[in-house]
């Protein structure tokens, strides 16, 4: 070491208590991550913010591809293209079907891409003892519990009796399927005077959800309440209720805290909004990928990210309102 360099080192140690760090090449060891959510919607947009914040904090690169519409036939070719790039080490994905996405994701694994599922899971979601164990983890809501919370909220809003209807998106999607299961379970076990008259699938279209709910309102003039199991279902259900002039009479419970749902809550159309925590899902998933790449072996196979239950009484409480989905430009 030259005298000059020695002087610099000594000054650094004296002034900052620092010793120059020997480069381990750690920067190059950071993984490159793919992010493939289910569809363009405020829920996944907030998740993307979490992914990006986490990636920025850790200095990793993320490649994001968001399908324009929901479905295996749209998500699989995007996944295949991400595999074909050949530069991704991890994939953070919300599988759009709990069975049909197993094969395409096994292909990713065979190509050396490790998988973390967010929001939705594969198989039965039990990556320890279930039929699918290859993903590192499932990070998302306990949607069966979310369905139970929604059922109790709707039951209370309608006074514990009457007919209720579920509007949902697609079959075989772990998230919305779990919500309907939890909802039906509570209605059957805790509310003998409530009848669940049916469930429609809107295929992730708010317009379809609106039409389906309008048809039910016509068919069942004494309908007391509707459970909308996600953004599109709840927004469509609420719109149909308002269009029929039944806002406040037919109660709506909305899963997902979009601005639209919150406006309907303030207007009295919606009695409860269940906020998930998509930011946390995305943030944690990136942390998990980086931890796994660094050799951490104790990552939990399942992380439940929890909910915020939003009603007219707490919607302005900042501790609750921070879970309303805020997306740039909204």
Determine if 230 is a binding residue for ligand T6T (CB under 6 A): yes
Determine if 325 is a binding residue for ligand T6T (CB under 6 A): no
CA distance 222 to 94: 38
Q: What is the DSSP string of 162-176?
A: EEEEEEES-TT-HHH
Stretch that binds ligand T6T, among 39-47, 208-216, 237-245, 262-270 (CB under 6 A): 39-47
Determine if 119 is a binding residue for ligand T6T (CB under 6 A): yes
- Of 121 and 191, CB closest to ligand T6T: 121
Stretch that binds ligand T6T, among 110-118, 194-202, 227-235, 291-299 (CB under 6 A): 227-235
Determine if 38 is a binding residue for ligand T6T (CB under 6 A): yes
Determine if 279 is a binding residue for ligand T6T (CB under 6 A): no
Determine if 287 is a binding residue for ligand T6T (CB under 6 A): no
Residue 142: phi, psi to the nearest 5? -85, 95
- Of 90 and 232, CB closest to ligand T6T: 232
Determine if 256 is a binding residue for ligand T6T (CB under 6 A): yes
Let me know: does 202 contact 209? Beta carbons within 8 Å: yes
Using a 10 angstrom Cβ sphere, with 0-12 exposed, 13-18 middle and 19 or more buried, the burial of residue 312 is middle
- Of 269 and 276, CB closest to ligand T6T: 276
- Of 34 and 38, CB closest to ligand T6T: 38
- Of 200 and 256, CB closest to ligand T6T: 256
Q: Which two tokens stand for residue 316?
A: 């302005």
- Of 169 and 194, CB closest to ligand T6T: 169
Q: Is 287 helix (H, G, I), strand (E, B) or coil?
A: helix
CA distance 130 to 125: 7
- Report the sign of the C-alpha dihedral through residues 171, 65, 115, 182, in that order: negative
Please select the residue that binds ligand T6T; options are 45, 48, 76, 175, rule is CB under 6 A.
175
Q: What is the DSSP string of 20-71?
A: PPPP-SHHHHSPEEEEE-SSSSHHHHHHHHHHHHHHHHHT-EEEE---SS-S
Which residues are at the interface with ligand T6T (CB under 6 A)? Answer: 38, 41, 43-44, 119-120, 175-176, 230-232, 255-256, 276
């Amino acid at each position: 070491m030259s005298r000059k360099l020695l002087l610099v080192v000594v000054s650094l140690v004296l002034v900052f208590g620092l010793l120059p760090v020997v480069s381990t090449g750690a920067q190059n060891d950071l993984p490159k991550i793919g992010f493939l959510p289910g569809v363009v919607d405020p829920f996944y947009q907030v998740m993307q913010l979490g992914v990006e914040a986490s990636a920025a904090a850790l200095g990793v690169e993320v490649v994001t591809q968001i399908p324009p519409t929901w479905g295996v036939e749209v998500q699989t070719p995007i996944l295949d293209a991400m595999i074909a790039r050949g530069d991704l080490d991890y994939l953070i994905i919300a599988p759009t079907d709990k069975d049909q996405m197993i094969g395409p994701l096994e292909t990713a694994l065979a190509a050396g891409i490790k998988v973390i599922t967010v929001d939705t899971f594969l198989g039965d979601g039990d990556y320890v003892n279930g039929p699918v164990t290859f993903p590192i983890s499932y990070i998302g809501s306990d949607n069966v519990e979310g369905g139970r919370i929604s059922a109790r909220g709707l039951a209370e809003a309608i006074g514990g009796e009457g007919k209720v209807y579920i509007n949902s998106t697609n079959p075989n999607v772990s998230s919305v399927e779990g919500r309907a299961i939890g909802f039906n379970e509570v209605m059957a076990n805790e509310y003998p005077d409530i009848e669940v008259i049916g469930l429609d699938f809107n295929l992730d279209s708010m317009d379809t959800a609106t039409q389906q709910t309008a048809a039910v309102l016509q068919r069942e003039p004494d309908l007391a309440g509707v459970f909308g199991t996600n953004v599109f279902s709840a927004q469509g259900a609420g719109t149909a209720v308002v269009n029929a002039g039944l806002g406040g009479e037919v109660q709506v419970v909305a899963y997902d805290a979009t601005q639209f749902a919150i406006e309907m809550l303030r207007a009295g159309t919606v009695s409860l909004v269940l906020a998930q925590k998509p930011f946390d899902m995305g943030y944690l998933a990136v942390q998990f990928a980086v931890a796994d790449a660094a050799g951490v072996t104790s990552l939990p196979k399942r992380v439940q990210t929890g909910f915020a239950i939003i009603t007219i009484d707490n919607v302005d409480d900042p501790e609750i309102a921070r879970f309303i989905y805020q997306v740039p430009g909204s």
